[in-house]
Amino acid sequence: MRQCQGCGAVLQSGEAGRPGYLPQHILENRGKALCQRCYRIRHYGRDELGPVAEKKASEAVMQAAASAEAVIMVVDLMDFEASLSWDLIRSCRHTPLIAAVNKADLLPAKTRHREVMDWIRKRFSELGITALPALVSAYTGEGVDDLRYFLEALEHRRWLVAGASNSGKSTLINGLMQHQSSGDAATVSRFPGTTQDTVSWEDCRLGRFTDSPGLIPAGRLCDMLPQEHAVAFIPDQRLQGKVYPFAAGSSMAVKGCAFAESLAAGSDTVAVGFTASNAVWQRSSCDNRSYWLEPTPGSFPGFSDFRAVELDVGAGQEVLVHGLGWLAIRRHDCRIRLTVPSGVKYTLRQNLIGGRRHGAGR
């Protein structure tokens, strides 16, 4: 079977509405080929077929993991806990696991990467994950050469690159493989689920690299939206924080997605809302909660069901809303009521940004 070199779909000319389609006269040409979907994604920024099915993606990754000598798990730094694939982690109990923590280029310019690496190692330890971490930016190439040199020094020659959808797997593979032409490269786009099946490349020094479909971890807000709206929530710009007073009675919100109320806090407590996408935390009013949980007309379909939880958040801690962004509490401990769509997960953790500077003064 011939595969699309961009997304891994099996090439076929029978059904235009299925992955891997190519007109017969193009399919008859030998050599590497891109399916019609990949061509349109690359040249027109349009995905007409949508992502690979969640079950099919998981089966493809687990099957490839069984024959890999080592696994590179790509983790989205901007959505860290939400982009961890626990099925993949558990399947690598007896396989070397390297965690390429991606999107370092989206960190604030003054953030020290050494401190971020310390945070990553500590977070892996807290979560019980045994992996060698590397901080990279697949987009800018930062850290990719260092990762390549590290891989060259290892004895493994069958690599699987896997992780959550839109974590940057295909972009990282293109950097590691040093593709010289777009025809050889994996298809990269902001659409979730671009890679349809496993697809491999050979490198004379690294061995065989296999790209894989993006896994869909449960509980990410962005995965609950139609594809054309989900792209607005995928991190692709430098991390920005909105700082607001957060004494008792204050509130912050991401319109249509999340609402956080301060129930108890010191008078000078502040909250910082972090996002690296088009979603933005804003200061809101507790009296207008229903307004803030409705989407802006014309933006994206609203969520019909929400749930609220009360959390004790210490100064120097933050609450990550999976697939959206996070809210950091500073200066004083705080009790908040967090409202998010039903099914969306959250994680309470130590600050990724500014944790040491803002952990005291409770």
**Domain limits of the chain?**
50-217, 240-358
d(CA 322, CA 315): 21
Residues near 194 by Cβ (< 8 Å), separated by ≥ 6? 7, 41, 47, 51, 170, 187, 188, 214
Is the distance from CB of 52 to CB of 19 less than 8 angstroms? yes
How high is the pLDDT of residue 71? Answer: 94
How high is the pLDDT of residue 342? Answer: 97
d(CA 182, CA 42): 9
Task: Report whether CATH 3.40.50.300 matches the domain 50-217.
Answer: yes
Residues near 290 by Cβ (< 8 Å), separated by ≥ 6? none
Residues near 181 by Cβ (< 8 Å), separated by ≥ 6? none
Is the distance from CB of 335 to CB of 310 less than 8 angstroms? yes
Is the distance from CB of 40 to CB of 47 less than 8 angstroms? yes
Phi, psi for residue 287 in degrees, rounded to 5 = -75, -20
> Token pair for residue 319?
């609450």
d(CA 75, CA 59): 19
Q: Please state whether the predicted TM-score (pTM) of the whole model is above 0.85.
A: yes
3-state secondary structure of 355: helix
The burial class, CB within 10 Å (0-12 / 13-18 / 19+), for 82 is: buried
pLDDT per residue, tens digit, the chain (362 aa), is: 788 888 888 898 888 888 889 998 888 887 778 889 888 888 888 887 777 777 888 888 888 888 899 999 999 999 999 999 898 998 888 899 999 999 999 999 889 999 999 999 999 999 999 999 999 999 999 999 999 999 999 999 999 999 998 898 888 988 988 764 455 677 777 777 778 788 888 888 889 888 888 888 899 999 998 888 888 898 999 998 999 999 999 999 999 999 999 999 999 999 999 999 989 999 998 888 999 999 988 888 889 999 999 999 999 999 999 999 999 999 999 999 999 999 999 999 999 997 554 443 32
